[in-house]
């Protein structure tokens, strides 16, 4: 079976991490996020995938090459201008090898999902659908378009995101298309599957099927979700063939963690990174070459490559860009983002009102 993976987005919500690295290539549990998706797809029977690239396209092929390390065949197609989700799918059509009536899996490159992909394909074939969408239920559907279904599982509407959503059943970003439907997407201009292709198929009376599966699911598009995905993979909350050993933390052999420091909650301390005495690192990603000073508290955060956090800092729910230097005694909280190479003087930022 073959798949298309959409990996061309700019990942603006994850800046500054995505200034240099596209979102699907950011490290989660120590390897590019996309590795987990591809490895899970491979386990479900996908032997060939075409990556629809645009933003920083070259990085993908440099890392994954022909896909041999994943025991699958990878191909790459780059849009000169971003074509949106539908345009990106259409743009790879001439690289697909499936027959017109065969299923092709399409994955957003920023979803971590434990759902049963093979069962989604089987549901698509049983319903003889044009498209079958993986749907999940979320606690707060306001950030999503809702996708209600009827008793037979057919999608009845695509409702744009709103402050008062009609349902908490949402598009989970994994589709099975009948190949000929991909060939029918218009060429030469940006197209959104969510806003254009799917509503048009519904209006034309095509079978648009929902596949509801509430297994583990996370859209990793925000910093909070990204660190959570990495921590969940490290701890084995979601199994990934690309995480050979699960545990409380992943500490690379070349990293140096002081014996009095604690690294827990699914954190990663990557190659050549250091964590000094008394520091506490929880559910965070410390990228290669970064250093965390004595007594620091790092929680649900990303410390970028070669960044330096000096002693006594608190970094919570925040991102420190590559090569940034955070002087001693700073407190970063609640979505703070420090741009790459920026230096913050000692004790420049504190959150407590009593300081």
Residue 79 interacts with ligand GTP (CB under 6 A): yes or no: yes
Site string for ligand GTP, 190-229 (x = CB under 6 A): -------------------------------x--------
Residue 6 interacts with ligand GTP (CB under 6 A): yes or no: yes
The number of residues making up the chain comes to: 355
> For ligand GTP, which stretch binds (CB under 6 A), given 78-86, 278-286, 290-298, 341-349?
78-86
Position among 35, 54, 230, 330 found at the interface with ligand GTP (CB under 6 A): 54
Contact call for residues 57 and 163 (beta carbons, < 8 A) = no
Residue 310 interacts with ligand GTP (CB under 6 A): yes or no: no
Q: Residue 221 CB, nearest distance to ligand GTP (Å)?
A: 5
In the complex with ligand GTP, the residue whose CB is nearer, 55 or 216, is: 55
Q: Residue 232 CB, nearest distance to ligand GTP (Å)?
A: 19
Q: How far apart are CA 157 and CA 199, in angstroms?
A: 7
> For ligand GTP, which stretch binds (CB under 6 A), given 6-14, 66-74, 98-106, 178-186?
6-14
Q: How far apart are CA 77 and CA 79, in angstroms?
A: 7
Site string for ligand GTP, 17-36 (x = CB under 6 A): ------x-------------
Q: What is the 3-state secondary structure (H, E, C) of 174-236?
A: EEEEEHHHHHCCCCCCCCCHHHHHHHHHHHCCCCEEEEECCCCEEECCCHHHHHHHHHHHHHC
Tokens at 272, concatenated? 């050549």
Q: How far apart are CA 40 and CA 51, in angstroms?
A: 15
The set of residues, in sequence order, having a beta carbon less than 8 Å from that of 140 and lying 6+ positions away, is none
In the complex with ligand GTP, the residue whose CB is nearer, 173 or 312, is: 173
Of 335, 344, 349, nearest to 299 (Cα)?
A: 335
The residue count for binding ligand GTP (CB under 6 A) is 21
Of 109, 89, 79, nearest to 180 (Cα)?
A: 89
DSSP per-residue codes, 294-348: TT-EEES-EE-TT-EE-TT-EEES-EE-TT-EE-TT-EE-TT-EEPTT-EE-TT-
> For ligand GTP, which stretch binds (CB under 6 A), given 5-13, 197-205, 308-316, 337-345?
5-13
Q: Which helix (H) or strand (E) holds 75?
A: strand 73-78
Site for ligand GTP in 83-112 (CB under 6 A): 83-85, 88, 108-110
Q: Residue 337 CB, nearest distance to ligand GTP (Å)?
A: 13
> For ligand GTP, which stretch binds (CB under 6 A), given 79-87, 138-146, 160-168, 297-305?
79-87
Residues at the site binding ligand GTP, with contacts judged by CB under 6 A: 6-13, 23, 52, 54, 79, 82-85, 88, 108-110, 221
């Amino acid at each position: 079976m073959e798949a298309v993976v959409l990996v061309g987005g700019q990942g603006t919500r994850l800046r500054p991490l995505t200034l240099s690295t596209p979102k699907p290539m950011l490290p989660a549990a120590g390897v590019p996020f996309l590795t987990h998706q591809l490895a899970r797809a491979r386990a479900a029977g996908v032997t060939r995938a075409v990556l629809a690239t645009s933003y920083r396209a070259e990085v993908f092929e440099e890392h994954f090459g022909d896909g041999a390390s994943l025991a699958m065949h990878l191909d790459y197609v780059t849009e000169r201008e971003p074509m949106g989700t539908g345009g990106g799918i259409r743009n790879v059509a001439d690289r697909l090898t499936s027959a017109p009536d065969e299923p092709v899996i399409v994955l957003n490159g920023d979803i971590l999902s434990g759902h049963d992909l093979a069962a989604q394909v089987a549901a698509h074939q049983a319903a003889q659908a044009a498209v079958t969408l993986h749907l999940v239920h979320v606690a707060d559907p306001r950030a999503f378009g809702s996708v209600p279904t009827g008793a037979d599982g057919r999608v009845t509407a695509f409702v744009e995101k709103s402050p008062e959503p009609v349902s908490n059943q949402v598009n989970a970003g994994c589709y099975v298309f009948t190949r000929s439907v991909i060939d029918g997407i218009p060429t030469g201009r940006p197209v959104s599957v969510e806003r254009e292709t799917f509503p048009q198929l519904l209006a034309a009376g095509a079978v648009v099927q929902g596949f509801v599966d509430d297994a583990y699911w996370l859209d990793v598009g925000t910093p909070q979700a990204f660190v959570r995905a990495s921590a969940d993979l490290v701890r084995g909350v979601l199994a990934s063939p690309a995480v050979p050993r699960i545990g409380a933390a992943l500490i690379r052999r070349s990293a140096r963690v002081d014996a009095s420091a604690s690294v827990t909650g699914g954190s990663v301390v990557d190659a050549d990174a250091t964590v000094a005495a008394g520091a506490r690192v929880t559910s965070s990603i410390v990228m290669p070459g970064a250093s965390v000073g004595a007594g620091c508290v790092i929680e649900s955060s990303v410390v970028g490559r070669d960044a330096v956090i000096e002693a006594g800092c608190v970094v919570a729910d925040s991102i420190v860009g590559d090569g940034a230097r955070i002087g001693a005694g700073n407190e970063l909280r609640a979505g703070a983002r420090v741009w790459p190479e920026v230096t913050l003087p000692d004790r420049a930022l504190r959150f407590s009102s009593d300081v």
